[in-house]
Amino acid sequence: MLDNIQNIQNFKREKSVYNLNQQTFYDFSAFDLIKDKKSLLVCDNAFDCFGIEIPCKTVKFNSFTPNPKYEDILTGVKLLNETNCDCIVAVGGGSSIDTAKAIKYFSGIDNADNDSNSSIDNVNDDLPIMAIPTTSGTGSEATHFAAIYKNGEKYSLADERLLPEYVVLQADMLKTLPLYQKKCTMLDALCQAIESWWSRGATKESIQYSREAVKLILNNMEGYLNNEEFGNKKMLLASNLAGKAINITTTTAPHAMSYKLTTLYGLSHGHAVALCLPKVWKKMKNFSDIASTLGYQNYKEAVAFLEELLQKLEIFPPENVTEEELEILTNSVNAERLSNNPVLFDKETIKNLYKEILEV
């Protein structure tokens, strides 16, 4: 089935797509909206640490990997249908929320064990998703996209019906996040905001989201990394704004080049994309307005700042990269996924960029 759904986009690029009826809450009052439902609780193994009490019948599903696999999704679909859940509550990072979205996306499959070409037009409009992010980076709660993997390859789902109907932003959800993950998710949000800003699909609305997200990240980075409540709150908001930005524009070359780095070397997604962005920006040049918001006069100074930031945060490239791995990485980048980039790269340019990123 997934052989035919790479980068699926079952929507028209009209403004109405992005003004869906999504409600954001800054406490758990949103639970009143699902108290009479039976929810599929999609969560990772850290869920029990948060002490969240969901006031409705729940069926827990946590059988998925950090980079959700198609097989994981089919298992979730089967559980959803067998238990007659009429709501999905996703608690966790991007993996949990993307898994929840993908389960909704494939919820109309007649036989979840069947990997044949089935219709994907049967997305259940009456299956609301409530997203409660526990990281401040993916922005998945604010997008109508989901990323899943099959045979080590990333597949992107895009459908307006995947935007969660309800979002709960709770700063105390970030308190138990390990420092490395805090760094990586913050960098992911920063990269999303910057990429959306320079995207070919950027609009006045998306640029405003990006600009505000960048400012919030820079101004609250120290407090966030020190696990201060105010810093956590602002970083969570920044992530949400960056998510709203890419919900309009999608991402660009740094994200497209990051996915195989994640699967090949086991890097966190935010780690991988943060390695790519400075080198891509250096190659493209320009974008002084973004540099100015970062506090610098031109792209050279902004790129130097980002590279110094990675050093400070100890976000390093993998070592001992082989020529064979370099070829795998180069061939992994789908040209269609680069179409949104402001500068088009050929295969040779991509290979040279990987050499710079991996310091080979």
Q: Are residues 183 and 164 in the same domain?
A: no
Q: Are residues 130 and 194 in the same domain?
A: no
* Confidence category of residue 13, pLDDT binned at 50, 70, 90: very low
- Tell me how many domains the chain contains: 2
* Confidence category of residue 21, pLDDT binned at 50, 70, 90: low
Confidence at residue 308, expressed as pLDDT on a 0 to 100 scale:
98
Q: Are residues 199 and 229 in the same domain?
A: yes
Amino acid found at 152 = G
When the pLDDT of each residue in the chain is averaged and rounded to a whole number, the result is 89
Q: Are residues 224 and 289 in the same domain?
A: yes
Q: Is residue 160 part of a domain?
A: yes
Asked if residue 238 lies in contact with residue 141, where contact means CB atoms within 8 angstroms, the answer is: no
Residues 6+ apart with CB under 8 A from 308: none
Give the C-alpha separation, 15 to 114, whole Å: 36
CATH number of the CATH domain containing 12: 3.40.50.1970
Q: Are residues 164 and 185 in the same domain?
A: no
Confidence at residue 67, expressed as pLDDT on a 0 to 100 scale:
83
Give the C-alpha separation, 261 to 245, whole Å: 24
* Confidence category of residue 3, pLDDT binned at 50, 70, 90: very low
Q: What are the pLDDT digits (tens) for 100-116? A: 999 999 998 655 444 43
Q: Is residue 119 part of a domain?
A: yes
Q: Between β-strands 145-150 and 153-158, what pairing exists: parallel, antiparallel or unpaired?
A: antiparallel
Q: What are the pLDDT digits (tens) for 231-282? A: 999 999 999 999 999 999 999 999 999 999 998 999 999 999 999 999 999 9
For tokens 């980076």, the residue is 137
Q: Are residues 74 and 218 in the same domain?
A: no
Residue 215 belongs to domain spanning: 179-358
Q: In this structure, what token pair is assigned to residue 38?
A: 């039976």
| 169, 196, 218 - which closes a domain | 169
| 143, 169, 195 - which closes a domain | 169
Q: Is residue 313 part of a domain?
A: yes
CATH number of the CATH domain containing 222: 1.20.1090.10
Q: Are residues 198 and 142 in the same domain?
A: no
Q: Are residues 142 and 194 in the same domain?
A: no
Q: Are residues 148 and 122 in the same domain?
A: yes
| 169, 195, 220 - which closes a domain | 169
Q: Is residue 240 part of a domain?
A: yes
Q: In this structure, what token pair is assigned to residue 341?
A: 């980039």
Confidence at residue 121, expressed as pLDDT on a 0 to 100 scale:
63
Q: In this structure, what token pair is assigned to residue 312?
A: 């400070």
Per DSSP, what are the bridge partners of residue 57? 38
Confidence at residue 234, expressed as pLDDT on a 0 to 100 scale:
96
Q: Is the pLDDT of residue 41 over 60?
A: yes
Q: Are residues 156 and 202 in the same domain?
A: no
Q: Is residue 187 part of a domain?
A: yes
Q: What share of the chain is helix, strand, coil (3-state, %, to 5)?
A: 55, 10, 35
Mean pLDDT of 114-129: 65
Confidence at residue 2, expressed as pLDDT on a 0 to 100 scale:
44
Q: Is residue 264 part of a domain?
A: yes
Q: If you count them, how many residues does the chain have?
A: 360
Per DSSP, what are the bridge partners of residue 61? 42
Buried/exposed 288-301: b ≥16 CB within 10 Å, e otherwise: eebbebbebeebee
Q: Is residue 305 part of a domain?
A: yes
Task: Report how many helices (DSSP H) and strands (DSSP E) the chain contains, helices first.
Answer: 12, 8
Give the C-alpha separation, 49 to 272, whole Å: 27
Q: Is residue 174 part of a domain?
A: no
Asked if residue 112 lies in contact with residue 78, where contact means CB atoms within 8 angstroms, the answer is: yes
Amino acid found at 260 = K
Cβ count within 10 A of residue 121: 8
Q: Are residues 84 and 165 in the same domain?
A: yes
More confident residue, 351 or 125: 351
Among 130-144, 301-315, 334-348, the minimum mean pLDDT is found in 334-348
Q: What are the pLDDT digits (tens) for 151-194? A: 877 788 999 999 999 999 999 899 989 999 999 999 999 999 99
Q: Is the pLDDT of residue 10 over 70?
A: no
Cβ count within 10 A of residue 119: 10
Give the C-alpha separation, 80 to 107, whole Å: 8
Q: Are residues 250 and 127 in the same domain?
A: no
The answer to pTM > 0.85 is yes
Closest residue by Cα to residue 160 from 16, 4, 6: 16
